């Protein structure tokens, strides 16, 4: 029997992330006491789920009835005993299929590789992770769980989709906000080619409930720099609209427009109290994941 390999989580990525710990920026609600601050005091008695026993877990937390019946070593988890609940949202709209250089990953593949790495990292530190895949509407939601199968299911879900359609980030954010019953970490992976007002509304909805929200904006160097020469045809990958331009003539105005767009996004994020980082697909995604972890005070 051979182990299944996944497109968006390679052994090299796992090795690069194994020494990292992703921390929350503030109090969260979870199910395993320890690494992250909880806003609750005392202990909960409401059972939440099982997870597999990991060497180092207190033996007293084993469910001996399950062990006697099935010889499986599992830990009973309770509502107030988890370090962290996190959701990773991945934009699969048509614009995420862009890459300016054939030697690079598309923005979609880059975002999926980051998402796969983050879900793996959360599992390694015994946190519960969930996944949301969206375009104009929400395509798939995997509830946050701490079980080993959560990583596999997330990776399989990412491989089941390809970039297509328009973007609806605000819809995805509001949909998730309605689902979340406890303070959580929310990480959004998108190029943010969407209406800023709708994005801001979705972000404010999450922040109103005091979730820890980060937006990792994935961009290709070519869409920032417009590196081509001569007459080129630019295509909107979400609407199919095409526009022929003389690159050298419009480059300066294009740069100004991109800078103004990024400033507007940065201002929107700051006003919403959301962490925002611009990631370029020319940088190794494992390196960017490590920078993100360290910037949040993680190890």
Higher pLDDT, 232 or 110: 110
Domain ranges of the chain: 11-23+83-295, 47-78
pLDDT at 90 over 80: yes
Lowest-pLDDT choice from 8-12, 99-103, 234-238, 272-276: 234-238
Higher pLDDT, 4 or 236: 236
Mean per-residue pLDDT for 205-226? 95
Can you give the pLDDT at residue 41? 38
Give the model confidence (pLDDT) of 227-251 as tens digits. 998 898 888 888 889 988 898 899 9
> 139 phi and psi, to 5 degrees?
-95, -35
Cβ atoms of residues 55 and 89 within 8 Å: no
Can you give the pLDDT at residue 54? 62
Can you give the pLDDT at residue 194? 92
SS3 assignment, position 299: coil
Can you give the pLDDT at residue 146? 86
Can you give the pLDDT at residue 29? 56
Mean per-residue pLDDT for 82-107? 92
pLDDT-derived band of residue 287, with 50, 70 and 90 as boundaries? confident
Mean per-residue pLDDT for 105-128? 94
User: 18-27, 77-86, 133-142 — which one is most confidently predicted on average?
Assistant: 133-142
Give the model confidence (pLDDT) of 23-79 as tens digits. 887 655 554 434 444 444 334 445 556 666 665 566 766 777 777 777 777 776 554
Query: Could you give the angle at the alpha carbon of 8 between the alpha carbons of 4 and 11, nearest 5°?
Result: 60
CA distance 138 to 87: 14
Mean per-residue pLDDT for 194-214? 94
Can you give the pLDDT at residue 33? 39
Cβ atoms of residues 40 and 78 within 8 Å: no
pLDDT at 103 over 70: yes
Cβ atoms of residues 163 and 93 within 8 Å: yes
**DSSP calls for 237-263:** TTT--EEEEEHHHHHHHHHHHHHHHHH
Mean per-residue pLDDT for 184-212? 95
Nearest to 258 by CA among 250, 248, 269, 246: 250
Can you give the pLDDT at residue 42? 39
pLDDT at 116 over 50: yes
- Alpha-helical runs (H) found in the chain: 11-17, 64-70, 107-124, 149-159, 169-179, 196-208, 221-225, 247-272, 285-295
Can you give the pLDDT at residue 31? 41
Higher pLDDT, 231 or 218: 218
Express as a percent the part of the chain with pLDDT over 90: 57
Higher pLDDT, 123 or 107: 107
pLDDT at 130 over 50: yes
Q: Which CATH architecture has domain 11-23+83-295?
A: 3-Layer(aba) Sandwich (3.40)
Cβ atoms of residues 286 and 117 within 8 Å: yes
pTM comes to 0.82
């Amino acid at each position: 029997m051979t182990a299944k390999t996944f497109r968006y989580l390679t052994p090299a990525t796992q090795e690069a992330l194994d020494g990292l710990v992703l921390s929350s920026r503030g109090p969260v609600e979870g199910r395993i006491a320890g690494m992250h601050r909880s806003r609750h005091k005392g202990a909960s008695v409401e059972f939440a789920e099982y997870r597999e026993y990991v060497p180092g877990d207190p033996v007293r937390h084993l469910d001996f009835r399950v062990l006697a019946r099935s010889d499986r070593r599992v830990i009973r988890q309770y509502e107030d005993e988890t370090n962290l609940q996190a959701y990773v949202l991945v934009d699969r709209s048509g614009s995420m299929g862009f890459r300016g250089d054939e030697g690079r990953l598309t923005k979609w593949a880059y975002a999926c590789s980051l998402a796969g790495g983050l879900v793996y990292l959360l599992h390694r530190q015994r946190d519960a992770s969930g996944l949301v895949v969206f375009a104009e509407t929400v395509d798939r939601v995997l509830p946050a769980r701490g079980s080993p199968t959560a990583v596999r299911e997330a990776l399989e879900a990412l491989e089941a989709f390809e970039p297509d359609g328009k973007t609806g980030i605000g819809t995805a954010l509001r949909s998730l906000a309605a689902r979340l019953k406890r303070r959580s970490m929310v990480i959004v992976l998108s190029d943010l080619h969407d209406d800023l007002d709708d994005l801001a509304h979705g972000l404010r909805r999450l922040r109103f409930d005091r979730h820890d929200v980060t937006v990792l904006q994935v961009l290709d160097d070519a869409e920032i720099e417009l590196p081509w020469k001569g007459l080129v045809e630019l295509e909107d990958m979400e609407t199919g609209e095409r526009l022929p331009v003389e690159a050298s003539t419009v480059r300066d105005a294009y740069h100004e427009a991109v800078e103004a767009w990024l400033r507007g996004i940065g201002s929107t994020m700051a006003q919403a109290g959301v962490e925002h980082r611009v990631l370029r697909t020319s940088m190794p995604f494992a390196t960017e994941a490590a920078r993100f972890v360290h910037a949040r005070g993680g190890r």
